[in-house]
Structure 1
């Protein structure tokens, strides 16, 4: 994550956590969780407010969660029964094939286009052979900076499909959904099951 985006999340952690906790992403859970047995281990990449980790834990899953912002992690840790860790993408150092599912909801979108395949390949090494992977980006084409100074890598369906396939994820499902304020999100779901 770039410095300006990290500074935004550190400075606005409480407000950001409150806003994102209320978002209904059950349609994404419904796509992801049926492929994982209860008790499976999920890596929540860029866990933000802890909303998704908490949902997974409440459904009976084991979760490891991290985010690059210390202040966001502090917010997440106020609601989670586990301790989320402060970690940047390039600091990830998990055991190979240790997770049944990887959930990267609105987190990889702060990478540069040349960083994205590196991190996606790295995440693949942490996923079990029969694992499940999910990630999401805002619909668009290329890098942009918002009014708060946050950097976003927006993706088209075709562009995201191409990146994932180049990283060894074949047979992926790419779909869009509406988000807050009329934004459209591009999502990837992949399972080798």
Structure 2
């Protein structure tokens, strides 16, 4: 992850500007439909803070962290919240959340570390809690312009989840929301935490 984090440290301003205004309301509503009123949400790998701010404006209690210190600072400036700097496997919290939102963030985790990363984050979900994640649609791993990407399709994600306490509730494909990238496709998934961990 070090090389990927370095990319965001060095390109925080341009990445913030290119993502903070992206309209993601449809994705938000697909996730929020599974949550109770006044739910607590963890934005895992929050980037610009765009989604954290959207959830705050709808009355949810939101907590956020990002692996890049520079991005965490920009997200804090945008939202007015304290945003923690942490890698996924280092993250800890003194509470459980109704939902975890990981939009285009877990895709930077190497595929061999994804199952343990899902399992670690799910520790902070309430039973029956909901976990949204998104990956560039495809298979395999690639490094582009200093960033590592793990591409997944639905069977690939299902295979990773078999050793976790998360189960697929819904998946769907979308095009990239950023202008000029309409030919890129994303796998979106809603995962639910099982009441009992798998053996």
- TM-score, normalised by the number of residues in structure 1: 0.93
Q: Which residue of 1 aligns with 2:197?
A: none
Q: Which residue of 2 aligns with 1:145?
A: 143
Q: Which residue of 1 aligns with 2:160?
A: 163
Shift of 1:156: 1.4
Per-residue deviation, residues 29-78 of structure 1 (Å, max 9, x unmatched): 11111222332110000000000000000000011100000011111111
Shift of 1:192: 6.0
CA distance in 1, matches of 2:6, 2:168: 37
Per-residue deviation, residues 147-171 of structure 1 (Å, max 9, x unmatched): x111101111210122124312234
Per-residue deviation, residues 92-133 of structure 1 (Å, max 9, x unmatched): 11246x100000001101111111000101111110012111
CA distance in 1, matches of 2:94, 2:73: 25
Q: Which residue of 1 aligns with 2:5?
A: 6
Q: 1:30-179, aligned counterparts within 5 Å?
A: 30-95=29-94, 98-146=96-144, 148-179=145-176
Asked if 2 retains the 8 angstrom alpha-carbon contact of 1:161 and 1:172, the reply is no
Supply the RMSD in Å over aligned alpha carbons.
Answer: 1.5
Q: Which residue of 1 aligns with 2:191?
A: 190
Distance of aligned partners of 1:37 and 1:172 in 2 relative to their CA distance in 1, 3 Å threshold? closer
Where structure 1 has 5 or more consecutive residues not aligned to the other structure, the ranges are none
Asked if 1 retains the 8 angstrom alpha-carbon contact of 2:133 and 2:189, the reply is yes
SS at match of 2:77: coil
SS at match of 1:166: coil
CA distance in 1, matches of 2:193, 2:18: 34
Where structure 2 has 5 or more consecutive residues not aligned to the other structure, the ranges are 195-199
Runs of 4+ residues over 2 Å off in structure 1: 168-172, 190-193
CA distance in 2, matches of 1:87, 1:192: 23
